[in-house]
Amino acid sequence: MIKTILSFLCILIFIACTPKERELTTEDIAREHQAIMNVMKKNIKAAEEKNFSALVETLAKDVVFFGTDSSEVITTFPDFKKKMYNQWSLFDKQKYGEMSDISIQMDNNATFASMIFGIPFDVTIGEKTAHLFLRMARILKKEDERWVIVSGIVGSTSQSEIKLLDDLVKAKTNPGK
């Protein structure tokens, strides 16, 4: 009986001495949300400016992305780099607007987060511009005490503009056809 009581007391002492997770304050949450927003803004700016080194700074060591087309499944960094450079070679100009309908969800330790938002996206090829509105979702994690993008998916809400963009890309990659 004494062994049982001593075991029980040891367990209680161990539980009482175990450090509790620090609960995030409202200010902590706001600060983390702003850091996540800053990473997304930096990522979008780097993509818009065709700046691969700045883009890489916003990404985790391993990435997974799904694009607007079913063939756009990116699971390695070399695939990501190839896809970005290919996209940048096809588009003469790309311009993102302001993010809207932003939702950020984060775990209680501020180590993983998801972000969903909409954003206008204009793509110019030659003299023609396709005006898209994209819905994006990103998963972020803390890596070396900073937020980085782990994965994402993008889709367009305008099928007619996607068709225009496809036609523009086909015309650029297959001139004369």
Set out the domains of the chain in order of their start, with CATH numbers. 24-171 (3.10.450.50)
C-alpha–C-alpha distance, residues 96 and 123, integer Å = 9
What whole-number percentage of the chain has pLDDT above 70? 81
CB < 8 Å & 24+ apart, contacts of 95-98: 95/48, 95/121, 95/122, 95/124, 96/44, 96/47, 96/48, 96/120, 96/121, 97/121, 97/122
Residue for token pair 């700074």: 57
What is the tens place of the pLDDT at every residue in 91-100? 999 999 999 9
What percent of the chain stands above pLDDT 90?
50
d(CA 51, CA 59): 13
Q: Answer whether 169's CB lies under 8 Å from 134's CB.
A: no
| Mean pLDDT confidence for 103-124 | 94
Q: Please determine, for residue 168, whether its predicted confidence score (pLDDT) is greater than 80.
A: no
The pLDDT value given to residue 15: 55
Asked if 109 and 118 touch (Cβ cutoff 8 Å), the reply is no
- The pLDDT tens digits for 17-67 are 555 566 888 899 999 999 999 999 999 999 999 999 999 999 998 888 887
